Amino acid sequence: MPETAVTLGALIPAATERLRVAGVPEPRREAIRIWADLAGSEISEVALGQNRVVDPRAVDKFEEAVDRRGRGEPLAHSTGITGFRHLSLTIDARALIPRPETEGLVDLMLQRVTSGRILDVGTGSGCLALSLAQEGGYSEVVAVDCSADALSLARLNQNATSLPITLIRGHLCQPFRPAAFDALISNPPYLTAAEYRTLDPAVRDWEPAVALVSGADGMAATTALLQHARDVLAPGGWLALELDCSRAAAVAAQANALGWAEVSVHMDLFGRERYLLAQRSNTR
């Protein structure tokens, strides 16, 4: 007996109802997003293709992703796909899901340094390093992470994008020689254990704690980077860090005390103090 043809106009409402029953906020929006991500299409194309008969194999993939989202997995994990700037990346529990706020860190770095050698510390999925390799004119983009799992995911994304980055396993700046880089960028972990416990379960239960928690005050990784990034940066090199907005002033004060020059804090797209820029002085 031939399979019954399924149209997108029937598929989306049924998935919407399943997500609604599962308690997923904005279930129709999420159903559309799941289809668009899996199909590699724009969300607007879904509305225009309601009468289109869809491939049964695509239906199976969509149904599986809807089931996973209904069980509480993050949307990006359900599809295995996340967008970051101009890239479509594979994502899963091996690394932090890239956030829209982090895209602004790339813009700030590109405004200051677009050539030479640049280091991405704690690369995770590789989103920062790959974006810089795509959009900058660097002679080398190096990405380091202490997690072998994260590096395997970053390597998967590197192979898929064919962008030239060098992946290294190591802790923060330790693997690198003095004055090796002209810029350093990082989205380090910046939460306390107590803050981590209050996160939405879609984050806390699915994304790696090592990418989120950083010491008793949430500043262990940030402090270490402020202390040691100067060692691996050439004089005049730039540092760009993502921050927890509640600690932005403390991080800036720490950077000034450690002898960084041109220290400034910048807002993210939601108006929160999210990024720190600083320059290695010629004397300290």
CATH number for position 24: 1.10.8.10
Q: What is the pTM of this model?
A: 0.91
Range of the domain at 17: 8-79
**Domain C-terminal end among 30, 58, 79:** 79
31 part of a folded domain: yes
**Domain C-terminal end among 36, 56, 79:** 79
Q: Are residues 235 and 155 in the same domain?
A: yes
222 part of a folded domain: yes
Q: Which has more pLDDT, 43 or 62? A: 62
Q: Are residues 148 and 238 in the same domain?
A: yes
Q: What tens digit of pLDDT does each residue of 173-191 get? A: 999 999 999 999 999 999 9
Total domain count for the chain? Answer: 2
Q: Are residues 183 and 96 in the same domain?
A: yes
Q: Which letter, b or e, does each residue of 11-27 get, where b requires 16 or more Cβ atoms within 10 Å of its Cβ?
A: bbeebbebbbeeebeeb
Stretch among 22-31, 84-93, 275-284 having the lowest mean pLDDT: 275-284
Residue 1 has a pLDDT of 30
Which whole number is the average pLDDT over 12-31?
Answer: 94
Residue 224 · residue 257 · CB < 8 Å: no
122 part of a folded domain: yes
